[in-house]
Structure 1
């Protein structure tokens, strides 16, 4: 990477990290803390307050991604972070579960993932873009691990209101990073060609990548409906689950070098297919655990989760990189907006699907369905064309 590419990658990863840390700190304790608010005796309303963020984010990723194509990335990112901060502040001041729900919905309206990813794609060459995307993915994974450890003691001392106040402060810090640390973007001209949304939706390989991220996040969230129970059954109390998650996440980052080697050799399609196969293997393995065909020991479960995070991290790095390379430059923001919309919808679908399957057929039926989804995804992705290696700057 050049010095400017390193600065772009690190500063934009920092924006993701600041925003996602605030979100992740709330998630492990939200359901318990929300019961203390008026209206908190309604589990359905608690679930809606948790999930409404993903729904409003899904609705606005594409419009804000398209706006970044037309009006500039940094302008849209700053606006989105300010909306996210306003939603966090509203949630911090809420005195009822309905107030929390409105604050969470406003948080989701600050949907800047597509604009940030598009700016990163603009400021990096194709040959190093997966490494840059991996830095973003790694920052998100690391914040998830930090939040699992930090959320319970912080919630005990400051309450849910304090966590939302911290989230607001982190978002405002992100605005400062955009304004004063992220390198300037190329000026946009009014007569610059604007692509059409149809160019994104009709593109076969972009369609494969969009359906792929939907399946990945549907499977990811569905898994976590059953995995905590499996860990408890294996003898690990809920308060100590981070003893498994944290090493699995951190060690999986160390395996990312293999992905970069494949990219440098021009084998990013092979890396994508291998990572999908790895996630499929984990779903089959977890299915064997729940069917009591495979052992339920912690070492076995820890190994499966390590393999999952290896595949997940590689896909989180390679898929947005492939979207940014595959999409015409004039619709890069729209393409990444579509991609992030499907990602958010996958999270929404995963929670609903996982809960329904465990309720109706138990964890075994859940992992049968996730295995079938991954197998269908692998078959769909197999037809993807190899991405041409390009050395030029992605402007």
Structure 2
């Protein structure tokens, strides 16, 4: 089933999810419940005076404005990324990721299998899917337009729609039978799809999602995000501040038998020549804290954020990254957006900003 026409798809910078990694304050409804309890019902989110100070997992462009999502189903809108207004959402489940395909049409996903959609710029939202019996999260989403997209999440589960969420089809492949969480899914500039997940899981599709191949990972730890870069390349980043780049997704070696892949017996590849032979190179990072979010700053420079207020930046065609020190907070950060003269970040304490450009 073809999902994406690269000539018609809005390409978005990859955003990394950190809902389960931003602290120990997950609400009770974000946990698995015992089998003898009654299924949870969806409840509208509550307007909270301190919503801008709570956990915010993701921020994205919404036409000329912005939208952010986080704990307790909070959805916040802003025209300038400085003044935020909360709107009522159809769930109190933790929301992990949000994407707008144009100024009016957007989607958000989170815990309890929640999938939300809006057709009025985020002023009102409907609950397209809600699976409290499953109870697990969608970690990411990728939509080409208001009708066509997919959601990816826990235990290798992925669903696709071609009719705006009226119906959903399970995306099935041996690669997904491995059961690894899918933390990020991205559309590369050549139209290829790339998934990054836990325990070194990486998978590609070069035929619009019809078939998938598992990639041999350079690092066995978890990858939390992807940044497309160049004609056929990307950067993946995640646990312990590891950042790896490749130039041609079609040239990366694959895992012949995905179900035989064992991250506990596999080894990290650290030798630069061995990495190059696999089509990879590592960007040396002075920060060892995990990275959860990133954005491009021009065609080659990227900025990454993560644990303990970590901010690192650098040229993706280079070899090293540099840390931004003492900027004002050591809270875990989940995402970043750049605007004229300012970096806007989200994390455990809501919104953060740096006035000077990165």
In which range does the TM-score fall when normalised by the shorter chain?
under 0.3
TM-score scaled by structure 1?
Answer: 0.26
| TM, length-normalised to structure 2 | 0.28
If each structure's strand is expressed as a fraction of its own residues, which one has the higher value?
2
Compare relative contact order (CA 8 Å, sep 6+) and give the higher one, 1 or 2. Answer: 1
